[in-house]
Amino acid sequence: MPHASSDTPFSLAGLMSAVAAAVPERIALVAGPRRLTYRALDERSTRLARHLVDSGVLPGENVAILSFNRAEWMESFLGVLRAGAVPVNVNYRYVAGELRHVLSDSHAVALIAEDSLAATVTAIRPDLPRLRHVLLLADGTERTADGVDYEAALAPRVEGAAAHESALPTTGGDDHYLLYTGGTTGYPKGVLWRQADVFRAAVERRSPGTPRARTPEDVAERAVRCFPQRMLVLGPLMHAAGQWHALSMLLCGKRVVLSTDRSFRPDRVLELAHREGVHALQLVGDAMARPLARHLLTEPELCPDLTSVRSGGTPLTPSVRNLWTAWREDVTLADSYGGSETGVCGSATAPDEAATVADAGDRRSFTMGGSISVLDDALRPLEPGSPQVGRIARTGRIPLGYYNDPIATSRTFPTDAEGRRWALSGDYGTRASDGSIVLLGRGSVVINTAGEKVYPEEVEAVLKAHPSVDDVIVVPAPDENLGQRVTALVSSAPGYAPDEKALHAHCRVLLAGFKVPRTVHFVDRVQRTAVGKQDYRWAASVADQGAPSPQSR
């Protein structure tokens, strides 16, 4: 529901400008060799905004960002917002077909991309008639795409040119915020928020008992008074967890540290954390947390200032928690629960006493806000202590829906009999007697591998397109580092011999790397139910065993 009367000042760009004016000389962002104060970050994002406006980008139009974690990602995000436009996050792992879908579906009129990533866009540019402006970020590779150099666009204007600059539009809380995330068919969907709502539901950071900010001046004043905490954000800024943690820190006047490495190396991450004296570490599940904890156990004197580790996207398992507490007993370990469609719903800091090592990763108890409920099939909230399993959902500050997709919007954002709109998270759970919510897991067969969502139907369709494949089913298998591993059970077409390398090569052309099956089991036939549907229970048992089934070759 709109909240225009009280929310008008709460645009993300306006809030950031207020904080920058309050703490201009404080370091806002560290990324590789670059260290930006709040003043510098605000000035550079404003120059980018002027370039976009001068280039014809209109308020409300969408501008895509295709980049690894670096200072320019955040500059671009804030600059697009300052121009009154809408940033579109694009996954840098996507191949041509996936990029085509997001850039076309989002109606992006401009693109800010690293040189190495823009090269893929060049091949699909004829399929993107709306894309009329490209800014290119140097990344040390050869520039092959056409576009304007990013640093040239941000260069200070020559003397006397300021009088001819286009005026920047006024921004407000009703302006849009668009976040692309995996969809139920495997194609990404854009979750469309009002900026004021996403600030309240995902970004506003406050101590327990502290009232919500009533004005941008309140946000700025809190930034002045805050402890200048330093957080190393390891989650990609192209995903909700990394993006929201970075924004929440910046709007508190704190310091964001980014790793600019293209691959995850625990030793380099911890060297960076030690060098920058970070207090908090944001990461994505066991895939990051396990190797970091193991390295710290070999060099326990590292990171003396590190007191908090927060996982977003997937919970930490008990075995990984034990590694961290073995390094430092008093380290705070927290799991955030939420999603692109719901915002940040709650957190869990202590492991469930009744959970076993096998199930604690999926059965965590989260303390959640009053707008979060567990719903029955009629969208009625279940009472605390009810044994009934229901769908976890949020009401109140929720998205407007999916961009460009009214059918999916009606399914994920239904209205109950009393006229309340809900955002369904896709997860199922129960309501404990103390009001906390016990997370039971996804209601579908989505695979969560190192925080990335993989939808089996998409991978199955790609595998079935290979001439050697007769039938296939894709399921998750347990993985110590990734949480879940994408696993395919394949029956070969007559006349073809099983060839795992050929299937991997085929998939890598059509799918992002995290979607490519890490394990392929060849079976005589893919088992199906009596009505012809794939038997996921059978497939999961085969994948869990880590060995071929009785029908396998």
pLDDT in the model for residue 359 = 36
pLDDT-based confidence at residue 317 (cuts at 50, 70, 90): confident
pLDDT in the model for residue 276 = 98
Unique residue bearing structure tokens 């996050």: 89
C-alpha 528/C-alpha 483 separation (Å) is 26
Q: Where are the domains of the chain?
A: 8-28+37-201, 361-442, 447-545
Q: Is residue 389's pLDDT more than 90?
A: no
pLDDT-based confidence at residue 523 (cuts at 50, 70, 90): very high
pLDDT-based confidence at residue 535 (cuts at 50, 70, 90): confident
Unique residue bearing structure tokens 């007191």: 307
Cβ atoms 196, 7 nearer than 8 A: yes
Q: Is residue 284's pLDDT more than 70?
A: yes
SS3 of the chain: helix, strand, coil, percent, to 5: 35, 25, 40
Cβ atoms 475, 469 nearer than 8 A: no
pLDDT in the model for residue 162 = 53
pLDDT-based confidence at residue 315 (cuts at 50, 70, 90): confident
Q: Is residue 334's pLDDT more than 50?
A: yes
Unique residue bearing structure tokens 């139009």: 61
| Fold that domain 447-545 belongs to in CATH | GMP Synthetase; Chain A, domain 3 (3.30.300)
C-alpha 551/C-alpha 527 separation (Å) is 9
Q: What percent of the chain is predicted at pLDDT more than 90?
A: 71
pLDDT-based confidence at residue 363 (cuts at 50, 70, 90): low
Unique residue bearing structure tokens 């990013």: 150
Q: Report in angstroms the alpha-carbon separations of 440 from 336, 350, 426, 444, 456.
A: 15, 17, 11, 12, 20
pLDDT in the model for residue 553 = 36
Q: What percent of the chain is predicted at pLDDT more than 70?
A: 91
Q: Is residue 350's pLDDT more than 80?
A: no
Q: In sequence order, which residues have a C-beta less than 8 Å from that of residue 33 and are 6 or more positions away?
A: none
Q: Is the Cα dihedral 436, 442, 448, 451 positive or negative? A: negative
Helix residue spans in 55-143 (DSSP H): 71-82, 96-105, 115-124
pLDDT in the model for residue 312 = 81
What are the φ/ψ torsions at residue 283 (nearest 5 degrees)? Answer: -140, 180
pLDDT in the model for residue 546 = 59
Amino acid at site 36: L
Q: In sequence order, which residues have a C-beta less than 8 Å from that of residue 395 and are 6 or more positions away?
A: 371, 373, 420, 421, 422, 423
Region 74-83: mean pLDDT is: 98
- What's the distance, CA 170 to chain centroid? 28
3-state secondary structure of 36: strand
pLDDT tens, 460-486?
A: 888 988 999 988 899 998 888 888 999
pLDDT tens, 185-237?
A: 457 899 999 999 999 999 998 877 789 999 999 999 999 999 989 999 999 99
Cβ atoms 324, 309 nearer than 8 A: yes
Q: Is residue 105's pLDDT more than 50?
A: yes
| Number of other residues whose CB lies within 10 A of the CB of residue 434 | 9
User: 8-28+37-201 — its CATH code?
Assistant: 3.40.50.980
Helix residue spans in 106-149 (DSSP H): 115-124
> What is the edge-to-edge ordering of all strands in the sheet holding 62-66?
86-89, 62-66, 108-114, 133-137, 148-149
pLDDT in the model for residue 354 = 37
pLDDT in the model for residue 548 = 47
Nearest to 95 by CA among 66, 70, 71: 66
Region 275-279: mean pLDDT is: 98
Region 108-122: mean pLDDT is: 97
Residue-averaged pLDDT of the chain: 89
pLDDT in the model for residue 522 = 95
pLDDT tens, 245-269?
A: 999 999 999 999 999 999 999 999 9
Cβ atoms 215, 9 nearer than 8 A: yes
3-state secondary structure of 451: coil
pLDDT tens, 483-512?
A: 899 999 999 988 999 899 999 999 999 999
pLDDT in the model for residue 206 = 83
How would you classify residue 107: left for phi > 0, otherwise alpha for psi between -120 and 50, otherwise beta?
left
pLDDT-based confidence at residue 147 (cuts at 50, 70, 90): very high
pLDDT in the model for residue 444 = 60
User: 361-442 — its CATH code?
Assistant: 2.30.38.10
C-alpha 363/C-alpha 392 separation (Å) is 14
C-alpha 483/C-alpha 476 separation (Å) is 9
pLDDT in the model for residue 448 = 86
Q: In sequence order, which residues have a C-beta less than 8 Å from that of residue 412 and are 6 or more positions away?
A: 341, 401, 402, 423, 424, 426
Cβ atoms 192, 184 nearer than 8 A: no
Unique residue bearing structure tokens 């921004």: 171
Higher pLDDT: 452 or 115? It is 115
Nearest to 423 by CA among 431, 412, 409: 412
